[in-house]
Every structure is written in structure tokens, then in C-alpha cells.
Amino acid sequence: MTEVSMCSSTGGGELTPEEERVLIRDIAISAEANSKEGDTFYLITQRWWQHWIEYVNQDQPNITIDGSSLLEHGDLVGSSKRPASINNSDLIYDATSEDLHVGIEIHDSLLEGRDYVLLPQEVWNQLHSWYGGGPTLARKVISSGLSQTELAVEVYPLRLQLLVTPKGDHSTIRISKKETIGELHRRACEIFYLNSEQVCIWDYYGHRKHALMHDMDKTLDDANIQMDQDILVEVLNNGNGGLSASKGASRSCSAELSQGQNLTSPAGEVDNTYGVSGVSTRGSSSGLTGLHNLGNTCFMNSAIQCLVHTPEFAKYFREDYHQEINLQNPLGMVGELAIAFGELLRKLWAPGRTAVPPRQFKAKLARFAPQFSGYNQHDSQELLAFLLDGLHEDLNRVKHKPYIKSRDADGRPDEEVADEYWANHIARNDSIIVDVCQGQYKSTLVCPVCNKVSVTFDPFMYLSLPLQSTTTRSITVTVFSCDGSTTPFACTVTVPKQGRCRDLIHALSNSCSLKNNEELKLAEVQNHVFQRFLEDPLISLSTIKDDDHLAAYKIPKSVKKTLVLRLIHRRQERETNDSQTASRWKPYGIPLLSSISCDDVITRGDIQTVVHKMLSPLLRAESLRQADIADSNTLVVASDACHDSSPGEACSDPISDSIRNSSSKGSSSSKALASLKLPLQLVDENNACIDLSVGEEKAIRLSSSATSIIVYVDWSQELLEKYDTHYLENLPEVLKYGPVNKKARTEPLSLYTCLEAFLREEPLVPEDMWYCPQCKERRQASKKLDLWRLPEVLVIHLKRFSYSRSMKHKLETFVNFPIHDLDLTSYVANKNSTRRQLYELYALTNHYGGMGSGHYTAHIKLLDENRWYNFDDSHISPISEDEVKTAAAYVLFYRRVKSDGAISNGGKPSEGHHSSQI
């Protein structure tokens, strides 16, 4: 259920962006302080909202309203221009509903914060008065929660199908679940022009009469009416086409119940009499019963529903399981957890669909697992792990566990060792949980010193698959332009994790808008000099580490012969040796790269010109206004660069006409050039330094085989006052830590890729070092996992949450998981099994939102109906398989497909499993 949250925002006609922001903030705060049941909130598309947020915060990007950053609503889009009119078209269906009683229908799968934002009525009114647009999507605030004291916006009112018998008319309506049965009765009569005294309405779930709805003061929520279900509108004494002028007809349909009258339903089926014995009870065989949220217990409800709808567990706990309760197991809970779970399961499968409050079960849970006490949000998978382990110990058929010492493999066949390990495990652990959920994997450890190989076979209850090992990685590179057109800027691109250097250059070329007449030179910078040039397009990107520093240089393509000019920055640093202090020029900053044509003679002045052009974006505007700078030909590169640079760059201020034209007032060109002479030193082939600040016409002698030249620029204090060199001081690392961008969040990741990352060989972390029996010491060995024995029900946990410095973060990576035919044949190391290892998805838990305000739901496939349902605490609604595919999956439940077919295609999953997009 959507929480009522204050989203302060708005935009304005003649007001400034700042005035709009402040006004909407004040309106929102006031509305929040006075919010109550019955208030109206309005949906507004997240896309427009984000644009407005950027607009009103363009001068203060980190502004906060109502205690939270406006930028938390997502990646800002568009520019800082004033938004156009409000356009909610992406929230609604294109086609207008044929039924006037439904109104404008919004998409069924919208999420707050992702697709829309809820605005209080006062905020919406102000926004709409400024911007106009629409359509208007109003929703009411209702009471919710176990105590009915929480406020929530009912974004999705009940959508009900009204079916009239015997006429056969039908209509769809939207109505709040907090409306009364009397209001539903009134609206049904109004829609079909019926006499209210001759109409009865029935809870008509599954085209079977479940209950007569005669308590007119009862709410639809209390009557357990669900989304998209049918309501039977029954007309009695319909001798006049369903209308009757008889005022004496009984209003109470209950009087008709004793007459044994049979009526034909719109579906063409003949119901039994209206007596209680003839009413079909919803949920008697389908298990469509919800769990009340006792206060942030959605994490528990979602996990329970998945276990309850595991067929093997449903059958086991509905029969007499008490004889298997182990009262002697010191690791168990004296059977109390198993009994509490069994009783809860029976209630959920019992006839009737009234939601069950799991208070007794939660009390037992808190008693044996205090970490889940209280009413804070917890991790659904952590609860599931505790519950499976606790149920196993409570139901362990082994009353006295024997002591068994495991033996080393000692070169024995894997099959023999695996069977021995499994037999030893079963001798101590034998329960319904082991029968259904436990498998076995092969663990291979290799000592890095003596190469000792140790093989063990360990049981598992579920697989925790990492999401960090994606197929792509982000690389940050600082881009420099040698023609003086722009200041340096950092560029982050996404490349294949196992890609080549050409992939990185291609991504950078697209990202930095490389022109057709330009190319990129990529280099690694270390200690202020070039460490290496990444010129080979086949260099693996795995050689680039996260803490490396990369720079890319835009240089012109040339058909002529060119040299690469490497410009190294130096500054004076004092050194003290043997009580003597001396100053030396040492490299600092980020080196630059450019090209220089060598078809003609290269002079010292040519190099001065090239370096001037490279440094021109860094030239301070004040330095251009000095009286002795007069030669416009010398300054044209710097001035043009300043004129063309974007706002916020070092050279953003244009040079005034008076300065630009000062050369016409008698100043000589030689004087202007001399004032900007750079202290450049060229290192020749003999390692001798040539001063390039004198003798500009002198030619530089280079061997015919030379491909590059190295030039040092010595930054004196006087020169530093002319140039803003902060752009050259820091080079970000390849991995730029920070929030995951939207593209990375939405990039699909195959479930098979996650499994391969889990199984691949990796070194153990230092705290998990392994004791090598041959070295007689603890070693940080490498570890390789292989699946060996698969369970009947395979539980897969997607590790969406990561920890750093005691903080918990969520990975929003979208995982592409198969619903049908999860093929694990190629991942099973035990080749004695000749059947394919195929699994079918039947349940999953989902996690939506962030850490503090997240919400868990469950998607369950009822096998007898072959239909998927969404279990959202006490609310259950049918969903399509496509909706399951796009779920925010957290824990997946797969059942083995019973098939003895031969392995085809070598047992390898088809490419479609790996690359199909959901």
C-alpha cells in the first residue's frame, strides 16, 4: 500500500524558479501537517516532476525540501528550462475505457517514485494553475494497517465486474475498498436502472456464489472483496425486464434463501440453492488467502507465502506431521516453530478467504530469533534461511546424531567421495526440508604455495548468487583536447567487462562527440608522466585496474607525417640534503598530448604555438587584459577558445573588443609574443635540453625515425598567475565510486551469468583462509565450486544487498530469469546423471524501493489453476506471466521438471537463455 509522503514541489508563471520552489515547499509542509483520511492526492508523472525539480534547483543542486533531497526522486532529465504543461499521458492507457463508470484508467504496474509522484491537493492546484495540462488523476487518502490508524493513498481502487442475472448485462466500475456494500448496491442499481428493493448482490468469486452481501454498512475491504473479481447483481421477481413497480417486494434477499429457488448464472452454470451448503467457498482448494501486515511484516509474509505454496510442504503440513517433531534436538526449538508454521499453513489453506493475522507465528519467531522481534523492516531472505534451518531441526528424524569423521578424498573418484559425504550428512540430518530443499556442491581448494588440491562435498539449502559480477564495467577517463577548444572533462562509459581496448575507445568516441577528422590517443598516467599508451586495439580491458588513471587526447587525423608531442609539467620543489636546501624542477599534474606536422621544418616557434594552443583553455581572463598583451594574432587561439567554451569552464568570459583590438594601438607583435613566451625545454635524442623560449626561428633537428618529442613546461609562480591549472592537478581513478546511474540500474543481467559468477574460481578473502594439510599453515587459497546434487526445490537468492562500513546498500540490477526450463545440466559436475536438470519457476519474493522504505511482495503460481497471483500482504490479485518476468525478484523458487529425457545440445543452455531480454 502506498504510504502518504509529502513531495514538496511546483513550478510557476511569473515567479522565478527559486520563488516557485519556496512557495511549493511551504504549501507542502502545511498540507502534510494537516493531512487526514478523505484528503485528495494527485498523481503526476515522474518524468515531468524531475524536469521541474531540475528547473527550480538549477542554482542550488543539493537543496532539500521537507528534510529529503529533491534529487532523490531519480536521475534528473531535460535541461534547466521551464517545463512545458503537465503531461500525464505516460501513466494512462491510450484507449479510453468504453465503460463510463471506470473513468481514466492508469497502467496496472506503476510504482511510486519510479513512474509517478503523489502530490497533495494544494500542491497540485498550484502547479496546475501555473502549468496547466493533465489529465487530472485524483486519489483519496484512506486508513490502513492492522489498527486502521495509518494513512495511505489508494492509487488503485477496486476494479469490479458487475454481472446481472438473468439479463446477462455487465459493466466494470472503480470503487474504493473503504466504500460500503450499500454504496456498491446503490451504484449497481444506478448503472443498470434497477429497483434497489429487488436487487441482491453476491460475492461472486470464480463464477461461484461465495457470500450474500447483505450487510449494507460493511466495507468492501472487510468483506474481503479483491481486485478484478466479479460481483453478481441478482434481480428478483423480474417479470418486467428486471424492473418492478411493486413497493411491497421484500428488500431482504435472505427471505428467499429458504425457498430453494435456482437461478442461472451469466456463465450458463446452474448454482445450487442459496442455502449455506450450496455456497462455494473461495480458497478451499486454491490457497488464495492473504496475511495481514502487523507492521512492517511484509518481509515475513512474502517468505511464508512462498513456503506455504511449495506443494511438498503444503501436503506435508496438512497431514499428520506431529509424529516427526523432534523434541530432543538441542539445535531445534522443541517443535514449537514447526507447530506454529504448520498451524499457520493450515489456516492459509483452510476454506474461506479472510486474511489471516500471523500473530502467533510472529511471537514464536521473535522468541527463538530475537533479531526479528519488534516491527522494523528485515531481510526476507535472512528470515527464510532461519525458517528453513529451524524447521529442519524441529523435524529432524534423527533423534541422536552420530559422530562421523570425514575422510580426505585421497585420489578416490569424485562419485565415491560425494556419496560418502552425502551419506554422512543424511546420517545426521534427515527431514522434509532435506528431502525437498537440500542439494550438494563440490568445493575444490588449491593451495597457492604447494598446489595441494583438496576436494570436499558440502550440502546447501539455497544458492546465493552475486549481482556485482555483471558483464559490463564502468570506466572513467579524462578527455583532453589538443586544439584548445574545451577544458578537460571526466567521461564515464560502460564497456564489456571482458572487452578490448577498441571497445573503450569506441565508447569514448561516442560519448565525447569525436569528430570525423579526429582520433583518440589513450594513455595511462602514473607519477605525472605517461606510464603506457594503449595503442593496441586488442589489449584486454582486464589489464586496466580500478585504481589506474587514464587520459584520452583528441588529436587531428592527418595524412601527413606527424610527431606526437608529449608535454610534461614541472614545478619547483625544495629538497633538503646534508643540511643544504636546493630547489629542483619536478614533474607534477597531468601530462598533455598533441600532434605536430613534420613534413616541413619544425622550429622552436612552431612548438611554442602548439603548446599555446593546448594551454589556451586554461588562460585566465585577467591575464588577457594586461596592457602589454596587444598582438591579436598571438591571442586569437586563446580568445576564440574562451569565446567558445561553455559556461562554468575556466575561460568562460569573452575578451573585450578593446583588448582584442589593442594591437592596432601601436603595440608590436613581437612584444605581445614575448610577454606570453612559455618556458619550454625540449629533450633531444642525446637527453640534452633545448630552451625553446629563445630563437623562435631556429629549426629543431630530429632523426628520421623519431615518432615523438618530449617537451617540459616549467610553471613559475608568475606563469601560474596567468593560467588556471587546477584542471591539470587531479586525474580520477578508472572506477569512479558513487551512485549507480540509471543505465546501469536498468541493464539486464542473466541469471545464468550470476550462477557462473558464483561458481567460478576465486581466491578466498583473507579472513576465510584455508588450512593446507601439506604446508601445515593457513593459506589464502583459490576456491572453485561446482553443483553436484540438485534438490527437488531449488531456492535461489539474488544478493541485492551489499555492506560497506556498516551501511547496507541495494543493487537495482535487473535480472533476466527464466520462468520455464531453467537448464542447469551443464553446471552439474556429476556426469553420472544422464537426465537433463530442468526447473520451473513457481514462486518468488520481490523487493521494491530502497532500504528504509522498501516493500516485499510474493508472486505465486497456483499449480492446480496454472495461474500467477500477486500476494501483497492481505491483498491478492491475478497477474500475467509478463508481469512476473519484470518483477523486482529477490528470492526465486524453482521446482524440478519431472523428465527422463536424454540430454540434448550437450546440456548447455541455449543462447536464448543468456541473451533474451525481458
DSSP codes, 807-866: EEEE---EEE--SS-EE-GGGB--TT--B--EEEEEEEEEEES-TTT-EEEEEEEETTTT
| Residue 391 phi, psi dihedral angles, 5° rounding | -65, -40
Selected catalytic residue, list 253, 298, 512, 651: 298
Q: Which amino acid is at 733?
A: E
378 classed as catalytic: no
* DSSP one-letter code for 155: S
Tell me the H-state helices in 309-463: 311-318, 336-349, 359-368, 380-394, 414-428, 432-437
Cβ atoms of 750 and 915 closer than 8 Å: yes
Q: Calculate helix-pair angle for 17-33, 121-131, nearest 10 degrees.
A: 160
Count CA within 13 A, CB hemisphere, residue 442. 24
855 classed as catalytic: yes
How many other C-beta atoms lie within 10 A of the C-beta of residue 288? 22
Selected catalytic residue, list 185, 855, 859, 875: 855
Query: Following CA atoms 452, 458, 464, 468 in sequence, which dihedral angle do they give, to the nearest 10 degrees?
Result: 0
- Rounded Cα distance between 484 and 618, Å, is 9
- Rounded Cα distance between 304 and 657, Å, is 76
Cell numbers for 506, please give them. Answer: 569506441
Q: Looking at 170-277, which runs of residues are DSSP E strands?
A: 170-175, 199-203, 211-212, 230-235
- What is the SS3 assignment for 324? helix
Does an H or E element contain 613, and which?
helix 604-615
Question: What's the CA angle centered on 373, arms 338 and 854, to 5 degrees?
Answer: 105
Of 25, 27, 83, the closest CA to residue 51 belongs to 83
Cβ atoms of 753 and 916 closer than 8 Å: no
Q: Who contacts 330 (Cβ-Cβ below 8 Å, separation ≥6)?
A: none
Burial of 87 (0-12, 13-18, 19+ CB in 10 A): middle
Cβ atoms of 385 and 372 closer than 8 Å: no
Omega into 166 within 30° of 0, i.e. cis? yes
Residues annotated catalytic, as ranges: 298, 855
